[in-house]
Amino acid sequence: MLLAEEMLLVAFDPEAGSEVLLTSELRWGLAGAVLIDLVLLGRVDVSTKADGGRRGRIVVRDGTPTGHGVLDDALLRLSTGLAGQPVARVIRVLAGANLKLHLLDGLVERGILRRSERRVLKVLVTVRWPAANPWYREQVKARLHWVLVHGEQPDVRTVAQLRLPGRAALKHIVGRENVKTARRALKTIKAADQPTGDRRRLAVMEICAAARKEASRGE
Domain positions in the chain are 3-216
Say what the pLDDT of residue 112 is: 96
Q: What is the pTM of this model?
A: 0.91
Say what the pLDDT of residue 191 is: 80
Mapped onto helix, strand or coil, the DSSP state of residue 180 is helix
Say what the pLDDT of residue 218 is: 63
* Ranges of the chain whose pLDDT falls below 50: none
Say what the pLDDT of residue 195 is: 57
Say what the pLDDT of residue 170 is: 87
Helix extents (H) in 12-115: 26-40, 69-77, 87-95, 99-109
Q: Per residue in 60-103, pLDDT tens? A: 999 999 999 999 999 999 999 888 899 999 999 999 868 999 99
CA distances, 177 to each of 9, 132, 185 (Å) = 21, 27, 14
User: May I ask the CATH class of domain 3-216?
Assistant: mainly alpha
Say what the pLDDT of residue 9 is: 93
Q: How many CB atoms lie within 10 A of CB 181?
A: 15
